[in-house]
């Protein structure tokens, strides 16, 4: 299986479900993206150093397949990269298939050992390539360091960010879990196909979270939060700074918890699922059985929009 056409043919012949096809297509696109970026990089000489001067770095780009990556603020004076065995957590030397690249305001880490789509499935099955197991990459940032543009992507590896400060942060994974803890940014975007997304105490004017079948759980101080999933659940716990919430799911549950839900305009729709507003609004039902809530006179700038086909929508006090 090495093309989008193969996947579409499998859907047509009912060999796989539409949801599985979406996951496979995302995997293929992610792998192609990694390989395209690697071809575009012109590396005259591979740099084995694992330390980069913090004041020179503006953007960080990490593109991995099965390796895990953690980015955290720490008591260091320069950007430091540590490599561990993913199972034993013992320090290891940099393997040949892992590349570091640095220029004036840019630093990247890229995994280069996959050459075709079948390799990705080997990773999902737990099979190593050329005898190499996964690597846990720990990137330490100085406490006063702020990332201008941070892009972190994996196919099956976990992505975690702890205490990171940045302007524009983006993390994508096909089946790996994405965790952001105590993160501050102007914009944060987290996307996973089947892996879960967890935002704990995240502060950003805008947060965008999306997953096909993975669970989304978010808390913190965000002015605007957008989340969507197909079959996964969405749980949002916000404070008074959260003004605009948009959540959509096909069959997953959507739950929103706020200090004062009565301050928000509410626009809820469920085709065949249920809506539990905990007394903060009246649920109406039309002749076709569709349930909805429409309240637009409570605020000029606060609103919650939630929609689902067959899932449940819950609104309650935090």
- The DSSP string of 79-90 is EEEEEEETTT--
Residues 6 or more apart whose CB falls under 8 angstroms from that of 163 comprise: 72, 73, 181, 182, 183
Q: What is the mean pLDDT of residues 179-190?
A: 96
117-121, 197-201, 243-247: least confidently modelled range? 117-121
Long-range Cβ contacts of 171-180 (<8 Å, 24+ apart): 172/30, 174/23, 174/26, 174/27, 174/30, 175/23, 175/27, 175/124, 176/68, 177/214
Whether the pLDDT of residue 74 is over 70: the answer is yes
32-46, 129-143, 162-176, 280-294: least confidently modelled range? 32-46
Q: Where are the domains of the chain?
A: 4-40, 51-232
pLDDT at residue 212 in the model: 87
Provide the token pair at 144: 């006063």
Residue 120 DSSP class: H
pLDDT digits (tens, 9 = 90+) for 6-40: 666 676 677 777 566 666 666 666 555 554 554 44
pLDDT digits (tens, 9 = 90+) for 212-261: 888 999 999 999 999 999 888 999 999 999 999 999 998 899 999 999 99
pLDDT at residue 33 in the model: 56
Confirm if 111 and 98 have CB atoms less than 8 A apart. yes
Q: pTM of the prediction?
A: 0.80
Taking the C-alpha atoms of residue 142 and residue 57, their distance in angstroms, rounded to an integer, is 11
pLDDT at residue 155 in the model: 86
Q: What is the mean pLDDT of residues 167-189?
A: 94
Q: What is the mean pLDDT of residues 114-139?
A: 58
Whether the pLDDT of residue 297 is over 90: the answer is yes
């Amino acid at each position: 299986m090495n093309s989008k056409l193969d996947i579409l043919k499998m859907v047509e012949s009912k060999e796989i479900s539409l949801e599985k096809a979406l996951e496979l297509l995302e995997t293929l696109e992610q792998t192609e993206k990694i390989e395209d970026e690697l071809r575009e990089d012109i590396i005259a000489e591979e740099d084995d150093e694992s330390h980069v001067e913090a004041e020179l770095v503006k953007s960080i780009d990490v593109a991995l397949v099965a390796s895990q990556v953690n980015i955290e603020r720490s008591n260091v004076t320069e950007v430091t990269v540590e490599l561990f065995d993913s199972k034993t957590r013992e320090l290891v030397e940099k393997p040949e298939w892992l590349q570091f690249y640095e220029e004036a305001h840019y630093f990247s880490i890229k995994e280069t050992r996959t050459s075709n789509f079948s390799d990705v499935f080997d990773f999902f099955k737990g099979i190593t390539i050329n005898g190499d197991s996964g690597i846990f990459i720990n990137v330490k940032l100085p406490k006063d360091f702020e990332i201008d543009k941070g892009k972190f992507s994996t196919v099956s590896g976990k992505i975690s960010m702890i205490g990171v400060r940045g302007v524009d942060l983006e993390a994508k994974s096909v089946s790996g879990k994405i965790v952001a803890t105590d993160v501050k940014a102007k914009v944060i975007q987290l996307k996973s196909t089947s892996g879960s997304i967890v935002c704990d105490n995240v502060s950003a004017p805008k947060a965008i979270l999306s997953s096909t079948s993975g669970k989304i759980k978010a808390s913190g101080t965000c002015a605007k939060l957008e989340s969507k999933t197909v079959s996964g659940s969405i749980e949002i716990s916000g404070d008074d700074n959260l003004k605009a919430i948009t959540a959509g799911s096909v069959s997953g549950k959507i739950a929103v918890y706020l200090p004062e839900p009565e301050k928000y305009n509410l626009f809820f729709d469920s085709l065949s699922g249920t809506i539990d507003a905990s007394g903060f609004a009246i649920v109406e039902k039309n002749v076709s059985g569709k349930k909805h809530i429409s309240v637009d006179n409570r605020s000029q700038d606060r609103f919650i929009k939630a929609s689902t086909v067959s899932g449940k929508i819950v609104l309650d006090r935090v």
